[in-house]
Structure 1
Amino acid sequence: MAGADEADFLELLVANSRIGDWVDRIRAHGNPARQKQALLLLQRAVESRSTYAEEARQAGVVPLLTRLLGLTDDEEVLDASSAIIAACSGPMATAGKVSAFTYDNAVVHIREGALGDGLGAKVWMVAHMLCLELASNRELVAGKRVLELGSGCGVCGLAAAALGAGHVVLSDVEGPVLRNLRACMHLNHKAEGNNATSAVAATAEAVPAAAGAQPLPSDCALFDEAEEVEDFDDMMADMMAVDGRGRGPMTHGSSAPAAAGPASTSACMMQHHHDDRQLQQLQGGGDDESAWEVGNTSVRLLDWAESRSLLDSGVALEQLTVPPAADDAGAGGNAKSRDVGGGAGPGGISGDGEADMPPGVPVWERFAVIIGSEVMYEKVHAELVAAVVKHRLAPGGCAVLQCAVRELKVFEHFIRECRRRALRYRSRQLDPVSVFAPGRTGGGDGGGGCCSFEGILGRAEEYEGGVLLIAIDHEDSPCLEWYRDDWETV
């Protein structure tokens, strides 16, 4: 999957609801026919669509059905349970798949989580648009301290690190997303080390460079659209009931779904999936994978509401000076800064008791550059993003956000919030087709373009404002070296 879009998000919602209903039926007592019916529906779904396999695995179907195998002699139930377990444990359950994306020779390795972990567990297409923008304008991040808001998988922040940023802080708020983000950070650090080692060996032995990995077919090419799952007639057979906890509602991360069209491969952005040997090289050995910082990147918990509360309390940002004990922490925001500001407490425990969480971004820490993709899809996010940019953007710094505009009123509210916070707002419209396929006006699919922007279920008009690239800086200390001069002032 080169990038998820609105269709993936809507399919997730449907899959989440159906899987939860089927699991509840399987766990219920007193109606064996209904239980078997749900089991067979679940089998058909997970074998036909990877989204259903992911959701079923997240719902705890594998241990549930493993237990069931020891409780029944019904051959049909045994076969269905075994097939479901295989689908949820094999290639169809694509959570954990590692992909490599290339933006103008900057390679980023991403391990996507399950959609059930939150929207931040997937790479959305607008994130690729921001990565291409960074790759085309490296001077934006080169040598600078960069904060990525709502990092999700971290593709934009990791791209900035690969493009020469001095230090990048990847931030989010959901535990599962943050832990997957940490894994992605370490994958890239190991890949960088492997590349350096390979380069030295190639030079010493004069070994010709290996041919580049060929991209595998996309998920859309591999898996046809699933047929509608129809209810079977009630089947008159016994099946043992299984106790278990019900599935809770889907939880969302801080990143929103993207608006761009289907996955694409171009000279500017290429993707391939790693084979087993490459995965072993990336995932094996090396640095401490429990660390929340490595190389020129770190992962931090960042609650945007903290910035809004701080600003609304009347605290002057100039008063948020670096404590002497943290003065040597530098751009990395390393271990010396852990006890300053909000976020996870000692031992990696968050304020609400969740274990294995990163430290928070110190309240005094500000950044020369802030980036973010798909950070606003409700009015409350408009308020929070304006507050966190005001708080975290250093004087003379710049923020660049890439967002799909689903509702104009959200972005109109954001403009008002920027003005209220004394931030300068500018933007420019971007056409996803021209971004992903520059210079191409037609494609072989008969759709008038090789990467058509289809929007929600093929209705581009659902996006009231298209895709915006937004530029923000402080009114009283503006950025004097903007990397482009074609912004539209509102």
Structure 2
Amino acid sequence: MDYVTGGLGWKVWGTALILSWKLVDQQKDIKAKKVLELGSGCGLCGLLTAKLGACEVVLTDYMPEVLANLCENTLNLPASVLGPVDLDPLEAQSQYPELSYDYVYGREDTDLTSKCSPAIVRVRMLDWAEDALLADSMDNKELRYPLLPRLSSDETFDWVIGSDLVYDHYNIKSLAAVITHRLSKQGGKAIFGIPVRENQEVRLFLSELDAYGMDVHVEQCSQQEWDACMDMLEIEEGGTFHGVDHYEGGLLIMHVKHKP
């Protein structure tokens, strides 16, 4: 996969590393919980929550090539994460006919990893714009038609996570709607890593979340935290890995939940 086929999801971005760092601190709250990752890309953060003990993880994105890559990344996880699975992705479809684009898109709600422990990992297409229709019309059952994102229209999660999602103001309202719709009202928590390329976009995002009745706590990531993360992982800055000072408004960790 490359940029032409995978768009922004073809590489791991630096914010995913910081978010992963923060998720480790939340391990006690993640264990035995359902997790939804938005804009998964390569799936780093979502797959980490499987390692941290989540009982179910759903990785979502939009482009078919990214979804197929997410399936391969899931199947390549070590046994310590998913249990006794030894499957060559190149042979997957012949051995497991359900692993096809029907599997990727969820047209058949069959999970190859359903027997795995400790986490069930699913890959699903999720179009934020379509999900926003549900968030804005939750009481209208007639809108719950078979939308292309094959998550059940009323499925919610204990955790919703994502990194580097606020980069296009055209998608911000839809993103806020998806978070509102998919995050459980029974103690659900969301956490996002957000590099602030434009302060105006983040202000708009906060405004949309508030309009949907969400409570938001913003944590500023320090350069010291970034450096410590890079040192621990032995990664050099550059490419898609940019430090806090690279962005207009720095790097934020945003915690979101429903208002009481």
TM-score tier after normalising by the smaller chain length = 0.7 to 0.9
Letter in 2 for 1:163: L
- 2:147 aligned partner: 342
Distance (whole Å) between structure 1 residues aligned to residue 46 and residue 243 of structure 2: 30
Over residues 262-300 of structure 1, what are the superposed CA-to-partner deviations in whole Å (9 max), with x where a residue is unaligned? xxxxxxxxxxxxxxxxxx986576773544431410001
Distance 1:411 1:175 in 2: 28
Displacement of 1:426 in angstroms is 1.1
- Note if contact 1:142-1:165 (Cα within 8 Å) is conserved in structure 2: yes
Amino acid at match of 2:155: E
Candidates 374, 379, 382, aligned match of 2:164: 374
Rounded to whole Å, the distance in 2 between the matches of 1:156 and 1:430 is: 17
Whether 1:178 and 2:60 are equivalent positions in the alignment is no
2:48 to 144, 151, 159: 159
Query: In the alignment, is residue 401 of structure 1 matched against residue 192 of structure 2?
Result: yes
Q: Matched residue of 2:184: which SS?
A: strand
1:359-438 aligned within 5 A = 360-395=150-185, 396-437=187-228
* Aligned partners of 1:370 and 1:399 also within 8 Å: yes
Q: What corresponds to 2:138 in structure 1?
A: 315
Q: What residue is the counterpart of 1:192 in the other structure?
A: 79
Question: What residue in structure 1 maps to residue 251 of structure 2?
Answer: 467
Instruction: Report the AA paired with residue 138 of structure 1.
Output: Q
Are the counterparts in 2 of residues 373 and 403 from structure 1 also a CA contact under 8 Å? yes
Which residue is 2:27 aligned to? 138
CA distance in 1, matches of 2:67, 2:167: 21
The change in CA–CA distance for 1:391 and 1:140 in structure 2 (over 3 A counts) is same
In the alignment, which residue of structure 1 is the partner of 2:121?
297
Number of residue pairs the alignment of both structures matches: 237
Change (3 A) 1:282 1:364: same
Aligned counterparts of 1:411 and 1:135: Cα–Cα separation in 2: 25
The alignment's TM-score, normalised by the length of structure 1, stands at: 0.43
CA contact (8 A) 2:37 2:161 kept: yes
Q: Percent identity, aligned pairs only?
A: 31
Structure 2 residue runs of 5 or longer lacking an equivalent are: 105-110, 115-119
**Aligned mates of 1:138, 1:457 — CA distance in 2:** 25
Contact 1:119/1:152 (<8 A) preserved: yes
Q: Provide, for residues 312-334 of structure 1, a one-character-per-residue CA deviation record: whole Å limited to 9, x for no partner.
A: 3x4338x79xxxxxxxxxxxxxx
Number of the residue aligned with 1:103:
none
Query: What TM-score results when the alignment is normalised by the length of structure 2?
Result: 0.79
The CA deviation string for residues 210-262 of structure 1, in whole angstroms up to 9 with x for no partner, is xxxxxxxxxxxxxxxxxxxxxxxxxxxxxxxxxxxxxxxxxxxxxxxxxxxxx
Question: Over residues 150-206 of structure 1, what are the superposed CA-to-partner deviations in whole Å (9 max), with x where a residue is unaligned?
Answer: 011111111111110010000011111111111111111xx2179967xxxxxxxxx
Structure 1 runs not aligned, ≥5 long = 1-112, 198-279, 321-338, 344-358, 441-449, 477-490
Contact 2:43 2:70 in 1 (8 A): yes
User: What is the rounded CA distance, in whole Å, between the counterparts of 1:195 and 1:397 in structure 2?
Assistant: 24
Query: Residue 384 of structure 1: CA displacement?
Result: 1.5
Partners in 2 of 1:194 and 1:164 — Cα distance?
9
| CA RMSD of superposed structures (Å) | 3.3
CA contact (8 A) 2:40 2:162 kept: yes
CA offset at residue 140 of structure 1? 3.0
State the 1:437 CA deviation. 1.8
